Amino acid sequence: MVTERPLTHPLKGATIALCAREPEELEPISAMLEEMGSVVRIAEGVEDLDELLKKEKVDVVLAHICPSRQEFMSVLDRKGLPPVVPLLCHADRHLYLETLRRGAFDCVPLPMDKAEMERVLTLALARRRQRPASAA
């Protein structure tokens, strides 16, 4: 007899920092991640993100980066962070390439495609789990 194991979402149990100056704009993303079983932590600025990273183990950082709100670009210059996935509010090829050049794991354009978000976050989480926390 074959017993079926319940399928669990690959993002279940992952702690994801959602960084945005105005996090209510990203509420649909937060709700989607929580629905998948992720723990979502909100950082309302770079200082909040720094404090969050000191207190908790974060698996992936989602940072809202727009041409008018590039404060989170500085996050990409830091060493020792978990994978950082910028949320880009415009399909700006130059901004996309700049984030990758500065160390982003990948980018997700807004408005978000759920399947693309899941794909990128699942790959980022797999990378995080392959590396020891001190090397993240």
Lookup: tokens for 65: 């980066």
Give the pLDDT confidence of 2-24 residue by residue, as tens digits: 555 555 778 899 999 999 888 88
Give the pLDDT confidence of 79-89 residue by residue, as tens digits: 888 999 999 87
Separation CA 81–CA 96 (nearest Å): 19
Predicted pLDDT of residue 16? 96
Residues 6+ apart with CB under 8 A from 12: 36, 37, 38
Radius of gyration of the chain (CA): 15
Domains annotated for the chain, with CATH where assigned, are: 15-129 (3.40.50.2300)
Separation CA 118–CA 36 (nearest Å): 9
Give the pLDDT confidence of 115-124 residue by residue, as tens digits: 999 999 999 9
With cut-offs at 50, 70 and 90, classify the pLDDT of residue 26.
confident
Predicted pLDDT of residue 67? 62
Predicted pLDDT of residue 116? 92
